[in-house]
Structure 1
Amino acid sequence: MTQRARLRWNGDAILAAERQGAARGLRLAAEHVLEVSRRRVPIEEATLERSGTATVDEPTLTAAVSYDTPYAVRQHEEMTYRHDAGRTAKYLEAPMTEEAGTVAEIIAAQVRRSLR
């Protein structure tokens, strides 16, 4: 008795779905890091906090979280400034490091979801 099986490989469709899931995961992960960092950003008038953005470059699968004020870098790097409770220098670096596992889980979940 001979059994036959036919396999159809839709590699291009799978790769496209995987890439789309990765891009969606990057966007969600960047938004997560932005939200965590906003809770730590030094706040006086909330201008720095409002300037925060999360972006994704889909062709290169690169995400960025940034703050855009003339003093954003100085506030981030100056460890001697005094801030309100819960607000601190390294308001972006610390969440990026602390949330690395969560970021990876968010991206992985979206890739898995796209391959269903």
Structure 2
Amino acid sequence: MSRPRARIEWTGDAVLRAERAGAARGLLAAAEHLLQVSREVVPIEEGTLARSGVASVDEQQLTAAVSYDTPYATRVHEDLNARHDAGRTAKFLERPAAEEAAAVEQIIAAAVRRALRG
């Protein structure tokens, strides 16, 4: 009586690479989404603060960041007593980050799923 034979091909390393690449793409897309939402509420006087916003990803650490790079960005973000035009507000990054958390998760998850489908 002969024993049944099976051949198994391990593709785990390729799957992990695809998952990591998808996660990096998802993180960038999510960071860009958050940047766009925050730009809709960032206080505008001359537009310099809004233009200084940037989304970035560290693909090695799989971390993303959204930042505004002006000398006064932190002060404007934290000053709850400042007056701004209608629809513009302090906490222009913190509030959208909290409000968009579910959307950010969905963006990242969708990118990972797409990467795993090949």
TM-score calculated relative to the size of structure 2: 0.94
Q: Distance in 1 between matches of 2:95 and 2:37?
A: 10
Q: Distance in 1 between matches of 2:37 and 2:21?
A: 25
Superposed displacement of residue 11, structure 1: 1.0
Q: Distance in 2 between matches of 1:107 and 1:33?
A: 12
Superposed displacement of residue 60, structure 1: 0.2
Q: Distance in 1 between matches of 2:4 and 2:110?
A: 37
Tell me what 2:44 maps to: 43
The gaps in structure 1 that reach 5 residues or longer are none
Q: Distance in 2 between matches of 1:4 and 1:100?
A: 49
Q: Distance in 1 between matches of 2:91 and 2:6?
A: 58
Render the CA deviation track for 1:38-94: whole Å, top value 9, x for unaligned: 000000000000000000000000100000001100000000000001000000000
The code of the aligned residue for 2:101 comes to A
Q: Distance in 2 between matches of 1:7 and 1:94?
A: 50
How large is the RMSD of aligned CA atoms in angstroms?
Answer: 1.2
Tell me what 2:83 maps to: 82
Tell me what 2:15 maps to: 14
The gaps in structure 2 that reach 5 residues or longer are none
Partner of 1:45: helix, strand, or coil? coil
Aligned residues: 116
Partner of 1:115: helix, strand, or coil? helix
Identical residues among aligned pairs (%): 68
TM-score calculated relative to the size of structure 1: 0.96
Tell me what 1:65 maps to: 66
